[in-house]
Structure formats: structure tokens, C-alpha cells
Amino acid sequence: MLGVKTIGLIGGMSWESTVPYYRLINEGVKARLGGLHSSRLLLYNVDFAEIEECMRLDKWQRIAEVLSGAAGTLEAAGADCVVLCSNSVHRVAAEIEASIDVPFLHIVDVTGAAIQAAGFTRVGLLGTRFVMEQDFYSGRLAKHGLEVMTPEDADRGIVHRVIFEELVLGKVIESSRNEYRRIMKDLAHKGAQGIILGCTEIGMLVSPEDSPIPLFDTTAIHARAIIDWALAE
């Protein structure tokens, strides 16, 4: 695989959603190159318990320190780029990017490009409260010319709770899927043309069949962009 770049993944937030990254990237490389090919990949898996506690206590500087350290370790080990396998902690993406000399492939930028390519301008956003309520995510999408809609406060609470109490633990519950279906239907009725699954675990719970409008699964979009970058001449 002469010329194929080595991907550095920061995962473990949660490991449940890091597994699809590993699978999708390797499946994509095999599909592109054929035969027995797989990806050149390094994975630094953090302890999500520490990250979640810092998120809950609003200790984002500590998260930035931990993840910047992980990025530096990946770079030192030979990674040609660094990827963060989580939407919420992209809040500290700027700090991570500043700590390394290799490219950082930002999940919001590739998602915004995919939505633009689909011809949409108004999208619903599901994710943790950090993603849905803070500007680091919707503000960056706005730079791609996108209007972002989020659920009502009570429904944002449901979306957030399901992520942290169920999905990050690998629990997929039908009643929660029905709640997400209802919330997505409501966003569509309010004018959303598509919906961003802005948490890498949400794809475990819902699929395109659950939504009346197109879904943009950030995990799958990010993985495709990573493959494109790694295999580019």
C-alpha cells in the first residue's frame, strides 16, 4: 500500500461507537483497493469514564489536555492525520489541532460538505446537549451555509438521556427508538430537509427507515472522508 496514509484515531468516547469507525474504514479501504487490503490505522482509546465526568463537571480544559496528549502520541507513533471519533468533544478540536503538526480531519466540516452536496440548506440536529445547545457545532455548520434546527428543550433532554444512559452502554431500546422517530418527525414537520445524527452512537438506534427525511450519519460520513483522505494521491 505504497503511498497510503496512516490514520490516527482517538476513540473510546464511547468504545461502542469507535467499533463502527474501525469497521467502516477497513471495509472502505478493502472496497477501494480490493483483495486483502485493509487500513493503516493507529487507535488511541481513552477511558470514557474520565471524559464523561469532565463533561458533566464542565472541565473542558482537562478534556483538551487528555485528547491533545492522545493526538501527540498518535503523531509520534507515525499517524499522518488525527481523527476524533466523537461529536461532542469536537468542542476542543481547536486545542487538539494546535497541539499537532499533522492534519486534523474535523467531523463537522465533512458533514457540512455532505449536506451541501445533497443540496440541503436546513437541517435538524440530534446529539448530546453539548452538540445541540452549544455554538461550536451549529456555528461551524453555519459557515457551510446551513440553518440548524434542534428539538424542543424536553425532547433535547430525551435525546441526551438516551445517549448517556443507554447507547454508550450498548443498550438499544425500542421505546427510545420510538421517541427518536417522533422527534425526527417533528423536526421534519417544522421544515428540516434532513437530520444530522450528531452523536456517533445514534446510528446504533435509528436508520433511514426510521425517519421521514434523509439522515446524515456523522460516523459514516466521517469514515468515508477519512478513507478519501488516506487514499488520495
CA nearest to 188, candidates 211, 207, 210, 205: 211
Cβ atoms of residues 201 and 16 within 8 Å: yes
Q: Specify whether 99 is located in the same domain as 196.
A: no
Q: Specify whether 58 is located in the same domain as 125.
A: no
Tell me whether residue 202 is in a domain: yes
Q: Give the β-pairing of 81-84 and 215-217.
A: unpaired
Residue 91: which H helix or E strand, with range? none
CATH code: domain of residue 64: 3.40.50.1860
Q: Specify whether 227 is located in the same domain as 199.
A: no
How confident is the model at residue 3, as a pLDDT? 61
Provide the 8-state DSSP code for 104. Answer: B
Distance in angstroms (rounded) separating the CA atoms of residues 184 and 217: 14
Cβ atoms of residues 129 and 163 within 8 Å: no
Q: Specify whether 146 is located in the same domain as 167.
A: yes
How confident is the model at residue 12, as a pLDDT? 86
How confident is the model at residue 4, as a pLDDT? 82
Tell me whether residue 2 is in a domain: no
Q: Specify whether 101 is located in the same domain as 202.
A: no
Q: Specify whether 83 is located in the same domain as 38.
A: yes
Q: Specify whether 102 is located in the same domain as 114.
A: no
Q: Specify whether 161 is located in the same domain as 201.
A: yes
How confident is the model at residue 16, as a pLDDT? 86
Number of independent structural domains in the chain: 2
Give me the tens of pLDDT residue by residue for the chain, a chain 233 residues long: 456 899 999 998 889 889 999 999 999 999 999 999 999 999 999 999 999 999 999 999 999 999 999 999 999 999 999 999 999 999 999 999 999 999 999 999 999 999 999 999 999 999 999 999 999 999 999 999 999 999 999 999 999 999 999 999 999 999 999 999 999 999 999 999 999 999 989 999 999 999 999 999 999 999 999 999 999 97
Distance between start and end Cα atoms, the chain: 12
Q: Specify whether 82 is located in the same domain as 133.
A: no
What ranges in the chain are assigned the alpha helix state H? 15-33, 48-56, 60-77, 93-98, 107-118, 129-133, 135-142, 153-165, 174-189, 218-231
Q: Give the β-pairing of 122-126 and 194-197.
A: parallel
Residue 209 class from Cβ within 10 Å (0-12 exposed, 13-18 middle, 19+ buried)?
A: exposed
Cβ atoms of residues 5 and 41 within 8 Å: no
Tell me whether residue 20 is in a domain: yes
Distance in angstroms (rounded) separating the CA atoms of residues 139 and 133: 10
Q: Specify whether 115 is located in the same domain as 33.
A: no
Q: Specify whether 46 is located in the same domain as 68.
A: yes
Cell numbers 499533522: residue: 102
Write phi, then psi, for 40 (nearest 5 degrees).
-85, 115
SS3 call for 79 = coil
Q: Specify whether 164 is located in the same domain as 144.
A: yes
Q: Which domain holds residue 32?
A: 7-106+221-231
Give the Cα-Cα-Cα angle 63, 66, 168 (nearest 5 degrees): 65
Cβ atoms of residues 43 and 11 within 8 Å: yes
Tell me whether residue 1 is in a domain: no
Which residues, other chains included, contact 2 with Cβ-Cβ below 8 Å and sequence gap of 6+? Answer: none
Write phi, then psi, for 158 (nearest 5 degrees).
-65, -45
